[in-house]
Amino acid sequence: MAVCYEKLWNILDEKEMTRTELKEDAGISFNVLARLGKEEPVSMESIEKICTVLDCNIGDMMDVVPDRQGRQAKWSGQGKQGDEGIRSRRCKSENPRFTTIELFAGAGGLALGVEKAGFETLGLVELDKAAAETLRTNRPSWNVICDDIANISKLDLEAYFSLKKGELDLLSGGAPCQSFSYAGNRLGLEDARGTLFYHYAKFLNKLKPKMFLFENVKGLRSHDKGRTYKTILDIFQQEGYTIDESQISVLNAWDYGVPQKRERLITVGIRNDLVEKIHFEFPKPHDYKPVLRDVLLDCPESAGIGYSDYKKSIFELVPPGGYWRDIPQDKAKEYMKSCWDMGGGRTGILRRLSLDEPSLTVLTSPSQKQTDRCHPLEARPFTVRENARCQTFPDEWEFCGSVSGQYKQVGNAVPVNLAYEIALKIKEGLECL
């Protein structure tokens, strides 16, 4: 026997009531709401609470059906909907979605891409209050946990997320890069104690997901002469995961539908008992690489930070695609001050982008002297929304907090399209099971 809550969702639609509002009004937990969303049985107490709030009977909100065939037969008789109706309204048990929990979630770039690939998000852990509010605002149904991950990783995670060990499909996220005091001592998980990565590893240790996605900056591979990343890989392996060279790659977001040159180190792990069943390979680069012309010309207006009058007057001298060498030397020397005598090309100073090139890596601050990113058509930095488009966030994704905080959220995010491409490949691997 199986349950189907299609009637419940129809009642909510009729009452113009969100699932979050149902949760709050009925006094049910997020876990109960998640089980409803997964078409799983819940306690009679929870059902009675829901019926009281919606003023309905049990039969008005759910069906109990014997099997998949019976469910399809029930729906196939719904007038003109036919097969399309079956496909669009089927219960989750017929079209299962893989589950994921994300750590260090930020403003949701990675989570949004993973969701787009077809995963159901069971929880997101994020310490920054503004970023957590961004997640809640855009996805009220997501279980956003705004807390220090150290407080969460020590809990009974199986009970906290209503999961059995080994049941979670994917753990995703990327801990900030930190040196390990005991790196090389081969103490296992204890090698990472005191770092944020330790808590990522604790989630692996306690939940044993089928796969994990660990993303980080390209420089992690060489950090501390390679010892940091080696220790991370050792811990992954000691926790029961296989990571060979085909599961490690530095991907450039520009190759995957993102109008930005941005490289990220991607590590994908497969639980040892599933290695013979799950096949994973990284996505192939796209033939077309988008440029700023594709995203800037029709970008909606949004908040942004401008240049001072002086800096604006200097940037008006720089042609699109140019930098400090393309303006009179006396003007460049006056602007650059002590930077004038530095070595190297200093190509990030007074850099003005062109519509026919991708953005350079979107940063957390829009107007630092040595990492300028001037708009191609106007003497100003990109707005928050323009940066968000370079990160392939949808225009309806709203960022919360101060303007500087919004820039930081966007700059720290994983590009949505890159996350989507990787998550699709992970999903393909899980479908092999």
List pLDDT tens digits, range 256-283: 999 999 999 999 999 999 999 999 999 9
Split the chain (433 residues) into runs of 10 and give each run's mean pLDDT.
84 83 81 75 86 90 63 33 34 64 98 96 97 97 96 96 96 83 56 86 97 95 89 94 96 98 97 96 96 96 94 94 91 84 72 96 85 92 97 97 97 97 97 91
- Residue 264 near residue 414 (C-beta atoms within 8 A): yes
Q: How many CB atoms lie within 10 A of CB 86?
A: 17
Going by C-alpha positions, the residue among 64, 3, 7, 63 that lies closest to residue 38 is 3
Active site residue 432: no
Residues whose CB falls within 8 Å of the CB of residue 300, separated by 6 or more in sequence, listed in order: 385, 395
Rounded to whole angstroms, the Cα distance separating 361 from 141 reads 31
H/E stretch holding 417 = helix 416-430
Going by C-alpha positions, the residue among 285, 274, 280, 245 that lies closest to residue 418 is 285
Rounded to whole angstroms, the Cα distance separating 408 from 419 reads 19
Out of 4, 51, 91, 177, the active site residue is: 177
- Residue 383 near residue 303 (C-beta atoms within 8 A): yes
The CA distances from residue 179 to 9, 50, 158, 219, in Å, are 48, 50, 29, 12
pLDDT of residue 70: 36
Question: Three-class SS of residue 183?
Answer: coil
Q: Which residues pair with 172 in a beta bridge?
A: 102, 213
pLDDT of residue 415: 98
Rounded to whole angstroms, the Cα distance separating 284 from 261 reads 16
Question: Phi/psi at 25 (nearest 5 deg)?
Answer: -70, -35
Q: Which residues pair with 213 in a beta bridge?
A: 172, 268
Question: Quick check: pTM over 0.85?
Answer: no
Question: Three-class SS of residue 381?
Answer: strand
